[in-house]
Structure formats: structure tokens, C-alpha cells
Chain A
């Protein structure tokens, strides 16, 4: 009975990591597929990935977009959380609902909406347009962790600092920001992951010479399914694993399951 229970639990917990493990194994096989019995081992797909200027360029492009998006969304979320929770603002609830709203829209509908928006702004098929769209969808992911940190922060620390003669700028720099660090770090990492991984919405916003790494992977899978994808995919899995480890260090993973306090 006990063995059956462990077996069922093992199967359940294997379901999520399974495709990632399979991709990792297939990436070091000569055929690019994880077949049983195993094919010969080979690094050829990694060599192909790391010597292809186009893939490296797209990796850089997606990383730069993700860093810019993270900086903009984290800053916007920090400032608005400070204003909304440190002074009485009319319509606080409304602003928070509007920040969270993109989360409940089906992604394909968001893609079409952003396509129209960028058309209005004349930014269709530009990196600027992709950055704007990513900032909007990343903002809710930045706002939550920052708000959680802010709520735990006792205003008495800031008041004490001010009463000792610190200017508002000094208080922000030496008291508020250091104490919000866990929230800021997880907001930044979250935004980075959201932007770096996004394909469903971005697919509407690209142009022939303006694309991102996930969208390019998608089109290559559709066109040829070259096993070089397995090497790139494994690289991205290891990268995400590193980010998750970092999140675990800074805030702990149970913050994902933190209940919403009203």
C-alpha cells in the first residue's frame, strides 16, 4: 500500500520535470532524439548552437530586452507601490485592478490588442514595441512581490531616519530600498523571466528582421525541428534553474504560494 502511494507520487512529481529531462538527454545524443535504446553521445548540437552567430545574436537580443523590461517594470512598480501605500490616493483599488488586469486576458487577445496599439503608435515590428508590450504584461509580476515587502516594512524605521535629519532621498536610499531588497530582487527576476520567455504575444509583434529568441525557436521547430533546438532548450532550462535557485536564496519559494491578504 505504502509502495503504491510512493509510486503514484513519483509519477505525479515526474510529470512536470519530464520534458525538460528528456530534452537535456536528447541534446547530447548524436541523433538529437532521446530514443530507447540510447543513441551515441555527442556535443555536436552544442557546437552548432555556440558557433551560429544568429542564435547568439538572438540570445543577446532577448536578454537585452528582458533587462530593459525588468528595469522599467520594477521601477514603475516600486514607485507606484510607494505612492499607493504611503499616502492616501483616491482610486488606489482601481489603479491596482488596472495593474493586474492584463493577467486575466487570454494571451492571443492581448497579442491582437498590442498589435493594434503599436500600429497606432507607429511602433509595429520594432524592438521598442516589443519592450512596451512586455512591460505591460510584466508589471503585475513586479508589483506583487514589491507590495508584499512594503507591507512588511515598518514605517517607524523611515520615520526614525527622518527625525534624525535625513532628507527623503537619503531615507529612500539608505532605509527603504535596502529593506525592500527581497521584493525588488524577486520582482526583477520575475520580469526578466516573463520577458525572456514570452512567445505567445510577441509572435504578433515581430517583423522579418525583428524577432526574439523564443519566437525564433518556435519558427525553427515549425520549419525543420533541427535538433540544435535541443541544445538551446537545455541551455535555457539550466539558466531558469539558476534563476529559481537565486529566487530560493532571496525570498524562498513559498512566496509563490503566499495567500493574498486584503
Chain B
């Protein structure tokens, strides 16, 4: 005998899924809708405009930079949490609370810190180290700092979910075989944590390409990203097919780098789980 919940309970979820798929389907169809009928006109127009292509390239550059810096900051944090012997909850609160605070609030924090009259510049000027404030806002530096802060926790969590469950006997075995802590890290821990690193990197990259709030508030007028370009175009001239085609370019940009990394991840996962060795 077993409890068999009736199928109609799926209704809510199915409605939400259908709504989502309808939105995506409509996006794809409308991206092919041009003034001269159906076709790829919106896309050829996008790539014929040098300023749009520059924005696209900048989007990829900034997203990759945000991913690299997130890894450089996130990995040591995850490693420190995983190896902490005491109560990890305090360290988790330090990471998770900022992660769950709204991105507009966190971005405002960076404006207060990095602005021309902000904390950092006022401190440096009061010590006499500089006389004119550093330009840390309204350029790519500000955007990358902001994006790393917003998305780094995704990297930390991904790596942590692997590091916390690595069999400690493997590290012990390595040390029994006379490997030092550094050698153990590079030959055992780091390779075993690669699936988490790749998942985290994919997430940070994907989310960075689609970010609007951070580049809008911390970036300059001249260094927008594709997402802010879409937003500004929608706001100024409501041309849905054009916005849809740009959203598709954004989707392809995001997935074009993600799919190869995901294939790499499968191979790494197969090796670290012992099947490929």
C-alpha cells in the first residue's frame, strides 16, 4: 500500500512551466520578426553596427574578468571554510547574508566606498597619500568589482559543496606517502574540486552576462554591457523584435562559452570519480 498523490497536483507547476516556455518561444519568434517580414534581419542589423559589436565584446571581456576574480577570491574562502575546524556557521553567515541582500543595496554600498567623495578616496586624501580622488567608479574597474561581489558567493557555494564532501582519507593517504601540504593541495584537493570550480565559473559567467543593475550604476555611460544596452533600448524606443533579437544574442553569448565548459566538466567529473583513471 502506498500514498499516491493525484496527478492534478502538478497543475500549478505546469502552468508556471508553460508560461516560462511561452515567454522564451515568443522571444525566439519575435526576434525573427522584421519590418520586411520574417528573417534574420534583426541579427544582421545588430552585427552591422560597430557600437553594438563593441558592447558585445566588452560584455564577454567583463564577464570573463568577473569570473576569474571570483575564482581567485572565492576559492580561498571556500577552502578556508571547508578546513575550518570549529563552528562554520559564523563564516557561512558572513558569506550568505551579503549574498541574499538585494543587488541594488550592495551596489549602493560600492558607490559609497568607491565614489569620488567616498570612503576610500576620503581616507586616502585625509592621509595625504593622494590629492585628487581615484576614478574607481563609472568605468570597467567599478563594474568588475561590483560583479565579483554580487556573483562570487555562487562560486564559493559551488566549490564548498565539493570540498566539504571530499573523502579526507585521500588527503591522509597523500600525506602518508610523504607529500607535503602544498603538494597534497595541488595533486589531490585541487583536482578533486575541479567540478565545483567549473560549475561555479559557469554560474558566475552566465549571471555576469545578464547583469543590469551593477553595470548601470557602477559603469560609465560609454562602457555599457549588452544587458544594459537592451534595457536602455527597450526604455527609449519600445521595439520588441529588436530587443528580442538582442536578448537572443545575449543567450547565445552566454551559452556559447558554457556548453564547452560543461563538456569539460563531465570529463573532469568522470576522472575524479575514478571511472576515467
A61 at the interface (CB under 8 A from B): no
* Residue picked from A116, A197, A199, most chain B C-beta under 10 Å: A116
B44 at the interface (CB under 8 A from A): no
Cβ contact of A105, chosen from B95, B111, B251, cutoff 8 A: B251
* Residue picked from B24, B104, B161, B206, most chain A C-beta under 10 Å: B104
A127 at the interface (CB under 8 A from B): no
A-side contacts of B104, CB under 8 Å: 199, 214, 217-218, 221
Contact present for A244 and B96 (CB under 8 Å): yes
Q: Which of A41-49, A50-58, A79-87 is near enough to bind chain B?
A: A79-87
Q: Give the A-B contact count at a CB cut-off of 8 A.
A: 299
8 A Cβ contacts from A235-253 to B: 236-237, 240-241, 243-245, 247-248, 252-253
- From residue A53, how far is it (CB to closest CB) to chain B in Å? 21
A-side contacts of B190, CB under 8 Å: none
Contact present for A16 and B98 (CB under 8 Å): yes
Q: Which of B10-18, B50-58, B167-175, B180-188 is near enough to bind chain A?
A: B10-18
Q: How many residues of A contact B (CB 8 A)?
A: 98
With known contacts A102-B20, A116-B30, A256-B92, A236–B254 Cβ distance under 8 A: no
How many angstroms from the CA of A229 to the CA of B113 in the assembled complex?
14
Cβ contact of B231, chosen from A23, A26, A204, cutoff 8 A: A204
A108 at the interface (CB under 8 A from B): yes
How many angstroms from the CA of A115 to the CA of B1 in the assembled complex?
47
- From residue A240, how far is it (CB to closest CB) to chain B in Å? 5
Contact present for A200 and B97 (CB under 8 Å): no
Cβ contact of A214, chosen from B98, B102, B216, cutoff 8 A: B102
How many angstroms from the CA of A116 to the CA of B28 in the assembled complex?
11
* Residue picked from B5, B24, B80, B209, most chain A C-beta under 10 Å: B5
8 A Cβ contacts from A52-107 to B: 72-73, 75-77, 79-80, 82-84, 86-87, 89, 95, 98-99, 101-102, 104-107
Extra 15 A-B pairs, beta carbons < 8 Å, given A23-B109, A34-B118, A253-B96: A13-B95, A20-B101, A20-B105, A35-B122, A83-B7, A98-B17, A117-B26, A119-B240, A159-B2, A162-B1, A233-B108, A233-B109, A253-B89, A256-B96, A259-B164
8 smallest beta-carbon distances between A and B, as pairs: A106-B210, A19-B109, A108-B227, A76-B12, A117-B23, A197-B102, A79-B9, A35-B122
